[in-house]
Amino acid sequence: MNFKLSVLDQSFARTFDSATTALKETIEMAQFCEQLGYHRFWISEHHGFVALAGSAPEVLLSALGAATNKIRLGSGGIMLPHYSSYKVAEVFSMLANLYPERIDLGIGRAPGTDMLTASALAPNGRPDFHKFPQQVEELWHYLNNENAEPTVSPKPPKDLPMWMLGSSQDSAVLAAQHGLPYNLALFINPHASAQVTNYYQQHFKPSAKHETPYTSVTIATFCAEDEDYAHLLAKSYEVNYYRYITGEWQGDFLTPEQVAEYPVPPQLSAFIQQRLPRRAIGTPAQVKANIEEIQAQFDADEVMMISNVYHFEDRKKSFELVKKAFS
**DSSP secondary structure letter of residue 130:** G
112 pLDDT more than 80: no
The confidence score (pLDDT) of residue 279 equals 96
For the domain spanning 4-326, the CATH number is 3.20.20.30
232 vs 13, more confident:
232
Alpha carbon separation from 228 to 217, 256, 281, 283 (Å, rounded): 26, 11, 10, 9
Q: Whole-angstrom distance between the N-terminal and C-terminal Cα of the chain? A: 9
* pLDDT given for residue 242 in this prediction: 93
Question: 3-state SS string over 267-293?
Answer: HHHHHHHHCCCCCEEECHHHHHHHHHH
- What is the H or E stretch that residue 228 is in? helix 227-245
Q: What pLDDT digit, counting tens, does each position of 275-304 carry? A: 999 999 999 999 999 999 999 999 999 999
Tens digit of pLDDT for each residue in 133-167?
A: 999 999 999 999 888 899 999 999 999 999 999 99
Alpha-carbon span 156 to 97, nearest angstrom: 8
Question: What is the domain partition of the chain in residue ranges?
Answer: 4-326
Evaluated on CA atoms 140, 142, 147, 153, the torsion sign reads negative
Task: Compute the C-alpha angle 113/119/120, nearest 5°.
Answer: 90
